[in-house]
Amino acid sequence: MLQNTDEIARLIHSHREGFALPREFYTSREIYERDIDAYWNRSWLWVGHVSQIPEPGDYFLFDYGPESIIVVRDRDGEVHAHLNVCRHRGSRVCVEPEGKARLFVCPYHAWTFELSGKLRSGRAMGQDFDPGDYGLFPAHVIVFQGLILVCTADDPPPIQEGLERLAPLSAPFGLENLKIAHKTVYPVPANWKLALENYMECYHCAPSHQEYAKSHTLKAPQDMEKLVEPLKKRSEGIGLPTVILSETGPDAKALGADVYYRRYPLYEGYQTGSRDGTPLAPPLGSLTGYDGGATDIQIGALNNFLVYADHVVGYRFIPRGLQETDIEVIWLVRGDAEEPKDYATQDLTWLWHVTSLDDERIIRHNQEGVNSYHFRPGPLADMEWGIRGFYKSYLEMIRV
């Protein structure tokens, strides 16, 4: 927990709207601890997909900062999330990142928990001990079209209304019927906010991502505009809505929204996000073909998805320390797609692998510069509008 509340209040007050955050937001241990406690622990987090736990007893862990969450399917088929903290003396209960369990047994003193989190047995604790008082701490869970969202707060922020608005737009992709084709972690020696901010803007895309820039129009908004109308016709032709849903920031959060959906065109000659523009996998969900577009979906600031007609790329920026972040990239394809008949992992992952290597480099250099005592926040460009919205929500949530 943050000790110097006066200092964090001063830093928040010192932020100049329309400018980058002051240096301390990326270098202060106290700010980092506040980030975990007040922002990450109170946000909805995309932890995984239902395809990872198809059967009762299947589980996986999702870790961030000092926290660890067990995500498990119980004997009745329900998805649960528990904090991976034994109620005896705090040991991790699960130490393997994924697996199948009949019960959860703490490796320290053998306290035994049901898949539901209920304590079955606290060994040799005496007659007055009531196991009902010491189940695993639960986390809130929502399964949205196969995406598992978890929040560890006692009173999580409202999200259902936003998901209801997003649901008809994302439904044609058949997100619930996906499977994970590949996952790669790109460690970067930088604060998690610098990694997230980099994803939120495409001001850097043209100079920093040569491969990405060949196919994606976001680097040049003036190019995108003339391609929007043709894309709308193609998208509607394969069964995709072309509505823009943009409800983010503090006001949207209060309404239970905080969601974003927009389909935008790739450059001509590209049907999907591939090296040569040709399809990479079978069309998703109910789609009847490829429209040459991509969709940005955001559920809160921390859960980001890029959806092509034939695959999904999920991005997470997970804090491991003050200046240690894992960029996790997850590629998902239709659940019945088989390799090598329907897709090739190397081709599927090529674009966002090379792009993520670029990101690791530029984020690393960003942190190195911000560490300088001579750093002063500069003004944000128009193309960095997403960062402006993030700052407003972030600063409000960590406010003392």
All structural domains of the chain, each given as residue ranges with its CATH number in brackets, are 45-151 (2.102.10.10), 160-398 (3.90.380.10)
**What pLDDT sits at residue 251?**
52
Going by their DSSP bridges, the two strands 324-334 and 312-321 should be labelled as antiparallel
Residue 195 has pLDDT above 60, yes or no: yes
The mean per-residue pLDDT over the stretch 173-199 comes to: 98
Closest CA to 145 of 125, 121, 173, 107: 173
**Residue 191 binned pLDDT confidence (cut-offs 50, 70, 90):** very high
Residue 102 has pLDDT above 80, yes or no: yes
The mean per-residue pLDDT over the stretch 104-112 comes to: 97
58 contacts 100 by C-beta, under 8 angstroms = yes
Q: What residue has token string 């999907």?
A: 272
Query: Among 141-145, 186-190, 395-399, which is the least confidently predicted range?
Result: 395-399
45 contacts 13 by C-beta, under 8 angstroms = no
Residue 137 has pLDDT above 70, yes or no: yes
Q: CA 267, CA 307: separation in Å to the nearest integer?
A: 16
**What pLDDT sits at residue 248?**
57
Give the model confidence (pLDDT) of 299-358 as tens digits.
999 999 999 999 999 999 999 999 999 999 999 999 999 999 999 999 999 999 999 999
Give the model confidence (pLDDT) of 197-231 as tens digits.
999 999 999 999 999 999 999 877 777 888 999 99
The secondary structure of the chain, three-state, reads: CCCCHHHHHHHHHHCCCCECCCCHHHHCHHHHHHHHHHHHHHCCEEEEEHHHCCCCCEEEEEEECCEEEEEEECCCCCEEEEECCCCCCCCCCCCCCEEECCCEECCCCCCEECCCCCEEECCCCCCCCCHHHCCCCEEEEEEECCEEEEECCCCCCCCHHHHHHHHHHHHHHCHHHEEEEEEEEEEECCCHHHHHHHHHCCCCHHHHCHHHHCCEHHHCHHHHHHHHHHHHHHHHHHCCCCCCEEECCHHHHHCCCCEEEEEEEECCCCCCCCCCCCCCCCCCCCCCCCCCEEEEEEECCCCEEEECCCCEEEEEEEEEECCEEEEEEEEEEECCCCCCCCCCHHHHHHHHHHHHHHHHHHHHHHHHHHCCCCCCCCECCHHHHHHHHHHHHHHHHHCC
Q: What angle in degrees, to the nearest 10, is found between the helix axes of 385-398 and 192-200?
A: 140
**What pLDDT sits at residue 252?**
52
Residue 120 has pLDDT above 90, yes or no: yes
The mean per-residue pLDDT over the stretch 38-43 comes to: 97
Q: What are phi and psi of 295, to 5 degrees?
A: -120, 130
**Residue 1 binned pLDDT confidence (cut-offs 50, 70, 90):** very low
pTM for the structure as a whole: 0.95
Q: Please report, rounded to a whole number, the percentage of residues in the chain having pLDDT higher than 70.
A: 96
**What pLDDT sits at residue 254?**
46
Q: How many residues does the chain have?
A: 400
Give the model confidence (pLDDT) of 152-170 as tens digits.
999 999 999 999 999 999 9
The mean per-residue pLDDT over the stretch 285-291 comes to: 97
**What pLDDT sits at residue 174?**
98
Q: Please report, rounded to a whole number, the percentage of residues in the chain having pLDDT higher than 90.
A: 91
Q: CA 332, CA 330: separation in Å to the nearest integer?
A: 6
Amino acid type, 124: A
The mean per-residue pLDDT over the stretch 188-203 comes to: 97
The mean per-residue pLDDT over the stretch 385-394 comes to: 94
Residue 256 has pLDDT above 90, yes or no: no
343 contacts 178 by C-beta, under 8 angstroms = no
Average pLDDT, rounded, for the chain: 94
The mean per-residue pLDDT over the stretch 232-245 comes to: 95
108 contacts 167 by C-beta, under 8 angstroms = no
Listed in sequence order, the residues at least 6 apart from 212 whose beta carbon sits closer than 8 Å to its beta carbon are 205, 219, 351, 354, 355, 358
CA distances in angstroms from 353 to 219, 281, 336, 359, listed in the order given: 18, 17, 24, 10
The mean per-residue pLDDT over the stretch 3-22 comes to: 90
